[in-house]
């Protein structure tokens, strides 16, 4: 394997952080199953599209009750007529199914799948060219771009590296405290960085060096320390983001969908009050489950295997020298951004606009902190996201999620007197465990938050009572390598197997869902998100 070749190279220094930069990670060889899926993904996608669009033509999409449509979709219906509206719904379902197959099997690069989805929605008439192409300018896209500008500032000035090294050296005296140190570091970074991939890129070299110090070199030299430090960081990166509205673009998208349906703004403080405590609880539970149940450390794994390894980290910190003026400016800028985000209820400036202003200041000539050439924006991820947002626009135009939900509820015999707790359990379960099938948390947000909104409207419940708890489960994307970009990135470290990530991830997913249910009866009820007596437990 490529990993073994690198590690067997006499020139390879396991304590050199430069060896663990993203572009230097060896390409992990696909398993036989992954190769098989990749080979059959293309034909499966074509077959699924043809069967849905030309052969089956689902009946529930051909006779549509306009009374159940959103106002936007009803306008589209009136404009296009019944037969054309049914046709574009069938086309939407066919494109969605084919896209999911391509994303899950990785038959072609994800960004290429997104480009195919965008042009397919145009050619089938689901969206106009203006609607489809405009999604690259979605405000969440701009937040992501500005976040990568700010993350690049952290990398260029060395502020993020300095903070992580300083914290590890001061509080990571033992193996157990190292894991808890990364928990805290991820919480801090989640408050400032709206891109989970950027957080992973910043922390990866640091925890990989520490893994090497404790004898975890990947490949056939895996050990439980390596499994713990990588899988726990993957979990912390995602769950830390769930505690903040600005933790990821998907959170902001969910808030925008809910605000659009209710007219009620979801502020930074509202989201933080609702889910920050839950994020902290889950991160500590993740630490316990990993280190006590699945990957307990042997005695020898608790001790550094490379003499003077931590001294190398001190050398890395020493090389940074004293904090210079640029780092101080970076720290002040990020604190200012955090203050503006956390007080958005009072000044009304959106998180995207705040990030915009921060990025502009960072790029200003002479008084700024970095130049445009210093900015590292992964445009393939931007194109991937644009495809997901375009699908979301297609869902809005066709109202496919609501139509499907209504058809399913009628088929299952759900009456209008269905209890709230049944709907709550069903919707949160669907959102949480959709990670078994969906590659993008943006995609899950596009599908399940509108469904929650539609269900709430159908049964006469407050939209926030169902949609917000569903949105709080967005960041549970750590179970399988295709769940999120950090998942795919950290899987390339070869510090753990697919079985390792599945059993730890599935366990934490179940715990996360059960915690969400408990909060629905307690904390969310106290905050007024869910109604009194949701489950009749207390």
Helical H segments across 373-462, by residue range? 379-398, 400-412, 420-433, 441-459
Closest CA to 490 of 211, 92, 111: 211
Q: What angle do CA 227, 231, 232 make, to 5 degrees?
A: 110
Q: Show pLDDT as tens, one digit a residue, over the chain (538 residues).
A: 444 444 444 565 555 555 556 555 556 566 677 788 889 999 999 999 999 999 988 888 887 777 667 777 778 888 888 888 889 999 999 998 998 888 778 788 878 998 999 999 999 999 999 989 988 887 777 877 887 888 788 778 888 778 878 888 877 777 788 888 889 889 988 887 777 877 887 788 888 888 888 877 766 678 888 899 999 999 999 999 999 988 887 888 888 888 877 878 788 889 999 999 999 999 999 999 999 999 998 887 777 776 666 777 788 788 888 888 888 998 899 889 889 988 888 888 888 899 899 999 999 988 888 888 888 777 877 787 788 778 878 887 888 877 887 787 778 777 778 889 989 999 999 999 988 877 678 778 877 888 898 888 878 889 899 999 999 999 999 888 777 778 877 888 888 888 899 999 999 999 999 999 999 999 999 999 998 765 554 4
Contact 102, 45 (CB under 8 A): yes
- The sign of the dihedral angle between the CA atoms of 503, 506, 509, 510 is negative
Residue 126 is encoded by which pair of tokens? 């689901």
Contact 259, 266 (CB under 8 A): yes
Closest CA to 491 of 26, 176, 113: 26
3-state secondary structure of 5: helix
A 10 A CB-CB count for 109 gives: 13
Contact 146, 358 (CB under 8 A): yes
Contact 224, 295 (CB under 8 A): yes
Model pLDDT, residue 236:
95
Model pLDDT, residue 445:
85
Rounded to whole angstroms, the Cα distance separating 461 from 497 reads 43
Model pLDDT, residue 318:
85
SS (H, E, C) 281-301: HHHHHHHHHHHHHHCCCCCHH
Residue 246 is encoded by which pair of tokens? 């600005």
Contact 480, 487 (CB under 8 A): yes
Model pLDDT, residue 1:
42
**DSSP one-letter code for 537:** -
Residues in the chain, overall count: 538
Query: CB-based contacts of 505: which residues, under 8 Å, 6+ apart?
Result: 235, 478, 479, 480, 483
**DSSP one-letter code for 440:** -
The whole-model pTM stands at 0.76
Rounded to whole angstroms, the Cα distance separating 163 from 170 reads 11
3-state secondary structure of 89: helix
Contact 9, 193 (CB under 8 A): no
Rounded to whole angstroms, the Cα distance separating 24 from 278 reads 36
């Amino acid at each position: 394997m490529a990993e073994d070749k690198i590690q067997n190279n006499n020139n390879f220094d396991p304590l050199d952080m430069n060896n663990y930069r993203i572009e230097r990670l060896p390409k992990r060889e696909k398993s036989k199953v992954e190769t098989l899926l990749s080979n059959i993904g293309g034909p499966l996608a074509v077959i699924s599209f043809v069967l849905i669009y030309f052969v089956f033509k689902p009946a529930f999409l051909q006779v549509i009750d306009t009374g159940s449509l959103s106002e936007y979709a009803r306008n589209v219906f009136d404009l296009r007529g019944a037969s054309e509206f049914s046709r574009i719904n069938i086309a939407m379902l066919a494109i969605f199914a084919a896209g999911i197959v391509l994303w899950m099997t990785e038959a072609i690069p994800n960004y290429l799948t997104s480009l195919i989805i965008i042009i397919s929605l145009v050619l089938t008439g689901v969206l106009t060219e203006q609607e489809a192409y405009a999604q690259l300018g979605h405000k969440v896209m701009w937040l992501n771009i500005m976040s990568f500008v700010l993350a690049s500032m952290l990398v260029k000035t060395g502020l993020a590296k300095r903070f992580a090294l300083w914290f590890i050296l001061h509080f990571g005296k033992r193996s157990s405290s190292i894991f808890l140190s990364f928990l805290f570091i991820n919480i801090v970074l989640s408050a400032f960085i709206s891109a989970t991939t950027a957080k992973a890129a910043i922390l990866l070299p640091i925890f990989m060096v520490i893994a090497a110090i404790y004898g975890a070199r990947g490949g056939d030299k895996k050990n439980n320390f390596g499994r713990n430090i990588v899988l726990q960081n993957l979990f912390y990166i995602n769950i830390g983001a769930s505690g903040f509205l600005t933790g990821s673009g998907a959170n902001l998208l969910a808030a925008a969908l809910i605000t659009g349906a209710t007219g009620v703004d979801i502020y930074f403080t509202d989201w933080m009050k609702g889910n920050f405590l839950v994020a902290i609880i889950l991160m500590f539970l993740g630490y316990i489950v990993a280190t006590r149940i699945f990957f307990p450390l042997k005695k020898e794994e608790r001790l550094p295997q490379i003499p003077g390894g931590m001294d190398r980290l001190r050398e890395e910190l020493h090389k940074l020298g004293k904090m210079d003026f640029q780092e101080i400016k970076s720290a002040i800028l990020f604190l200012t951004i955090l203050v503006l985000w956390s007080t958005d209820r009072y000044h009304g400036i959106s998180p995207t606009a705040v990030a915009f202003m921060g990025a502009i200041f960072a790029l200003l000539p002479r008084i700024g902190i970095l130049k445009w050439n210093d900015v590292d924006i992964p445009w393939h991820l931007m194109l991937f996201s644009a495809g997901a947002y375009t699908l979301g626009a297609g869902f809005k135009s066709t109202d496919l999620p609501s139509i499907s939900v209504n058809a399913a509820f009628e088929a299952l015999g759900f009456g209008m007197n269905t209890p709230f707790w049944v709907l709550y359990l069903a919707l949160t379960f669907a959102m949480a465990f959709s990670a078994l099938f969906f590659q993008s948390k943006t995609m899950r947000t596009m599908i399940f938050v509108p469904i929650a909104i539609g269900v709430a409207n159908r049964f006469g419940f407050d939209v926030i009572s169902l949609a917000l708890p569903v949105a709080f489960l967005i960041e549970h994307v750590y179970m399988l390598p295709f769940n999120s970009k950090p998942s795919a990135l950290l899987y390339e470290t070869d510090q753990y197997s697919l079985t390792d990530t599945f059993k730890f991830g599935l366990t934490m997913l179940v715990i996360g869902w059960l915690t969400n249910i408990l909060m629905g009866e307690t904390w969310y009820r106290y905050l007024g998100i869910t109604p009194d007596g949701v489950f009749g437990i207390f």
